[in-house]
Amino acid sequence: MLGECFIYLCAMPLKNDLILKAANGEKVPRTPVWLMRQAGRILPEYRAVREKLGSFKELVETPELAAEVTIQPVDILNVDAAIIFSDILVIPEAMGLRYQMIEKKGPYFPKIVGNAGDLSGINTIEGEELSYVYRAIEITKSELNGRVPLIGFAGAPWTIFAYMTEGSGSKTFSKARRFLYQQPDTAHKLLEMLTESIIRYLKLQIKAGADMVQIFDSWAGILTPHHYRQFSLKYLDRIASSISEVPLTIFAKGAWFALEDIGKLDCNTIGLDWNVDPKDATRILPGKTLQGNLDPCVLYADNEDIIRETNKMLDGFKGQAHIANLGHGVYPDTDPEKVRIFIETVKEYSISNQIAK
Ligand code: CP3
């Protein structure tokens, strides 16, 4: 009975599938819009849920509440997609490296991977370790009731590697980068394990109901182009060729130097940060759907400036399939009213320019 119900829910037609159509390069009546890090960072309604619990991790691991905060931006901000509330660091934890989320500071790993010996406690995940994420996806899908698609996600192998070797956030990630020069073979061993784990994890998110998936390579921009090809792109390529069930987005922040190579990956959508001029992106990446790329700081400006900058960004992507977003996650102290102006501006933008591939 439960099984039947689940199948029925999965098969529920979406009332708003603009983002999936745009990802597939199909014609859409207007540009779809959502925000990276829309769940959790800016809404008072999120903080109310968060305060009921002892920690961020408890929220991530409580499927009913993770589903509730996933849906909040759909109800409150009217975005065209939900993104499952979780974190990229659930993967290293499931592989055997526990992390803590320190209030107002960020992630901290009491033990790091510093050498080949440290790999002994690290395993490729089977997938089932993260059943709380799949349960949160099932509940979210059921509660969304087909209103908008649900995006699943994972960190890129390189970005997760950076946290596992550095032990926390960092301005330079010099421990993580040093590792690549001093212990390249061990680095590849860990990246291999991460890649396999991420593929299994994404496939199980899709099985649970994720309508599309995104890879966050947030620390792409700190590598040399040569190291990026060797230690990141190679593994992104393997992930992209393994995921064909739903549209895939690759967001590699700061990797403007590798856009042409990223364009060769078997993914539908390429996320762009604000360092990339939309005009250059459309030239370098014809035939791909592009996502982004307003500077998140535009949302601190006056309303008229937000409208002007958003329209300018939309003009820049004219003629190519586009999903509007910021160039990185929305900053925590952004006024939700400003976010609403951004979203409304995208929705009102004349869409006669969206073309099918
Ligand atoms: O997009 C969404 O809204 C879904 C939820 C989501 C979170 N983290 C929740 C979160 C997503 C997609 C992430 C991805 C993530 N996590 C990335 C890649 C995207 C990016 O921003 O570059 C990275 C690098 C992380 C690692 C991480 N998690 C850091 C560095 C921090 C601390 C600083 C911060 O971003 O807030 C986190 C904590 C975190 N992840 C919070 C949330 C809502 C804040 C924790 C809290 O509420 O106390």
Give pLDDT, residue 351.
Answer: 54
On whether the CB atoms of residues 120 and 46 are closer than 8 A, the answer is no
Model confidence at 4: pLDDT above 80: no
**Ligand 1 center–CA 289 separation, angstroms:** 24
Question: Quick check: CB of 189 below 6 Å from ligand 1?
Answer: no
**Ligand 1 center–CA 87 separation, angstroms:** 6
- For residues 311-335, average pLDDT: 97
Q: What is the mean pLDDT of the chain?
A: 95
Question: Quick check: CB of 322 below 6 Å from ligand 1?
Answer: no
**Ligand 1 center–CA 92 separation, angstroms:** 15
Give pLDDT, residue 133.
Answer: 98
- For residues 109-136, average pLDDT: 97
- For residues 294-315, average pLDDT: 98
Pair type for strands 289-294 and 100-102: unpaired
Question: How many residues does the structure list for the chain?
Answer: 357
346, two tokens? 């995208």
Question: Quick check: CB of 87 below 6 Å from ligand 1?
Answer: yes
Q: Residue written as tokens 């109800």?
A: 75
DSSP state of 120: G
261, two tokens? 């190579």
83, two tokens? 């993104």
The yes or no reply on domain 4-352 and CATH 3.40.50.300 is no
Q: Torsions phi, psi of 214, nearest 5?
A: -125, 140
Tally Cβ neighbours within 10 Å of residue 78. Answer: 13
**pLDDT tens per residue across span 70-96:** 999 999 999 999 999 999 999 999 999
Domain boundaries defined on the chain: 4-352
Give pLDDT, residue 36.
Answer: 98
**pLDDT tens per residue across span 236-264:** 999 999 999 999 999 999 999 999 999 99
Closest CA relative to residue 84, chosen from 198, 207, 194, 213? 213
- Expressed in angstroms, the distance from the first to the final Cα of the chain is 42
- For residues 266-278, average pLDDT: 98
Catalytic residue numbers? 37, 41, 50, 87, 163
Dist CA 247 CA 182 (whole Å): 37
Q: How confident is the model at residue 11 (pLDDT cuts 50, 70, 90)?
A: low
**Ligand 1 center–CA 40 separation, angstroms:** 8
Question: Quick check: CB of 158 below 6 Å from ligand 1?
Answer: no
By most ligand atoms within 8 Å of CB, the mutation choice from 43, 62, 88 for ligand 1 is 88
- pTM of the entire structure? 0.95
**pLDDT tens per residue across span 169-201:** 999 999 999 999 999 999 999 999 999 999 999
Question: Quick check: CB of 238 below 6 Å from ligand 1?
Answer: no
- The residues, ordered by sequence, that sit 6+ positions from 273 with a Cβ below 8 Å of its Cβ are 221, 253, 254, 256, 292, 293, 327, 328
Report the percentage of the chain scoring pLDDT > 70. 95
Q: How confident is the model at residue 127 (pLDDT cuts 50, 70, 90)?
A: confident
Strand partners, 213: 152, 248
Give pLDDT, residue 124.
Answer: 98
With vertex at residue 61, the alpha carbon angle to CA 151 and CA 97, rounded to the nearest 5 degrees, is 95
Q: How confident is the model at residue 12 (pLDDT cuts 50, 70, 90)?
A: confident
Dist CA 133 CA 114 (whole Å): 29
Query: 1-10, 261-270, 331-340 — which is least confidently predicted?
Result: 1-10
Q: How confident is the model at residue 104 (pLDDT cuts 50, 70, 90)?
A: confident
- For residues 300-306, average pLDDT: 98
Model confidence at 225: pLDDT above 70: yes
Give pLDDT, residue 55.
Answer: 93
